[in-house]
Chains A and B, each alone.
Chain A
Amino acid sequence: MRNETKPHAQKNNLRNQFLLDWSLRFYVILIFVFVFAPIVFSVIFSFNSARFPTIPLESFTLKWYETIWADPDVWEAFRNSIIVSVSTALIATTLGFCTAYTDYRYRFRFKSAYLALVLLPPTIPLIIMALAMLAWFSKIGASGQLWSVIIAHSVLTAPFAMAIIRLRLNQMNKDLESAAWNLGASEWRAMREVVFPFCKPAILSALFLTAAVSFDEFAIAWFVSGLNKTVPVLILEIVQGNIDPQVNAIGTIVFLVSMTLVMIAQVFFFLRQNRTSN
């Protein structure tokens, strides 16, 4: 077939292929523009003096940052958010590690039910989880607390931690743990001396990623936090009122925080590939 095509047709084909490839690349860039436009926009307008953000830009200003700096509610919200995301990260990563190790090492009856129980929460719409958590927490008398948010976020993010650590365990030579026992380590000691150090990059990655998810989650936090607003809940309430460029300033800080967390998580996640045991 290919041999029968005439030289100029072939040339045409090549040119078409070339055009197609480049238009596809251009299209990818368009998609990226769409994805990142709101983020970039928010950052730019957080420094723009106009009350209503539009183009052309007005002058550069830090007044929105000054406003939120002076706002005790914002400080309070950030304090709450940090408490929630740090605690969530610790709990979710601990739970995720336990589950990943269990899945790695053991076979038992109802294991698929066990895994479903762990992995399902992220597939359920947040608004449903929010309602269910709200009702449940008020039933057991634990609603409106900061730690209600922590508990709910841990349920939500433990599967992410589990997945990251499980992927790391996949790379662990099956003999490694046995080798530790063989050299005199009890199961607990082998966990501390071998499994845990081996998983360390993944554990760090999981900590940062779960913190990032928790830091941005607003639906459940909105329902169960009561008066203890986290940053996203604060944003939600400001946005409900009117257009306020303060949101751009808070948003920029939030982006900065969560992007940093996600990037650190990814660096740890990819780091492990340099140190894989064959």
Chain B
Amino acid sequence: MTSRDPLTHQVANKPTRKLFDSFALSWRLPIIVWQTLFFLGPLIFMVAMSFFLVKNYRMQEAFEFVNWSKMFSRNYFWDSYFLTFTLATLSTAIASLLAFPASFALAFKVSPAVRRWALFLLIIPFFTSYLVRIFSWYVILAESGALNALLDTFGLGPYTMLNTKFGTLVGYMTLTLPLVVVLQTFALSNIDRNLVQAAHNLGCSPFRSIYAVIMPLAKTGLIVAALFCFILSFGDFVSPYYLGGSKPPTLPILIIDTTKSGQQWPRAAVVAVVMMVTLITIAFAALALAYRTRASR
């Protein structure tokens, strides 16, 4: 075996000397302990909490389905669920569509240097205060805000943009669009250019090649980008609260209201568990779709 051989090499590095390798465990254990205590622990406890009881504003450990039946029998819960789901789906569709031409241009129409810079810039907002950006939109979109003032100079408006679904969606786009563009651009620029060229040579028009060649090749990346968009929108409370007016509340707002005002943590936990289950289902469905290979190949 030469030292380049991946098979022997990886196994060869495995220490076989001792059953208890203190060096290896020193690197492996910290995160296991940490995540068990502070990630798995809280999540499992939250699921358990959804079965607890609240008496005289105090939580009692129990195993009752009363929170579940209470929440599921309320209309506002289901209104809230469908609103959140619809908004997140809408946000995913709009972000994917809005992002695609930009990602396409960044992947195929600009030099690698420009692409690097564009991605560099697009990553920045993802790590900067979302809250302040939403506040900015709040004053921009207000009845007497900057956008209406601008439109007024053209003799348009004023339009009501705050406390509407439009407002919520602007907020969702603020949160998700940069990320979706980045992920789509990665997916598209990983495509083998030769395949696109080949399609052109075979008489495929540019528009058709997008549909017939590029989209299928970048499918996995495009779906993953959409999935992230859905997860972010579904769990965001800032946009629907400040820009959407929270009437009716979305599920995240429901969690906040239930937790902050009524000390009804177990009911909030029910909402959170429902959200988790929804997201896990969506994620599995999306990944199955993303990695499905066509049978006729």
Contacts and interface: CB of A to CB of B under 8 A. Distances in A.
Contact of A102 (B28, B35, B49, B145): B28
A32 B103 CA distance: 12
B20 interface: no
Contacts of B137: 38
Interface stretch (A60-68, A69-77, A150-158): A150-158
Interface residues of B, number: 88
Given A98-B28, A117-B39, A219 B123 contact: no
Given A31-B102, A155-B39, A136 B45 contact: yes
Interface in B31-51: 31-32, 34-36, 38-43, 45-46, 49
B188 interface: no
B272 A52 contact: no
Interface of B: 3, 9-11, 13-14, 23-24, 26-28, 30-32, 34-36, 38-43, 45-46, 49, 98-99, 101-102, 104-106, 109-110, 118, 120-125, 127-140, 142, 144-146, 149-150, 173-174, 177-178, 181, 203, 206, 231-232, 234-237, 242, 252, 255-256, 259, 265, 268-269, 272, 275-276, 279, 283
A27 B97 CA distance: 13
Task: Give chain A's interface secondary structure class.
Answer: helix
Contacts of B140: 37-38, 41
B133 A131 contact: no
7 contacts: A125-B231, A127-B255, A128-B46, A158-B31, A219-B237, A248-B135, A262-B123
Interface of A: 1, 17, 20-21, 24-25, 27-28, 31-32, 34-39, 41-42, 45, 52-56, 94-95, 98-99, 101-102, 105-108, 114, 117-118, 120-121, 123-129, 131-137, 139, 151-152, 154-155, 158, 174-175, 178, 187-188, 209, 212-213, 216, 218-219, 223, 232, 235-236, 239, 243, 247-248, 250-251, 254-255, 258-259, 261-263, 266
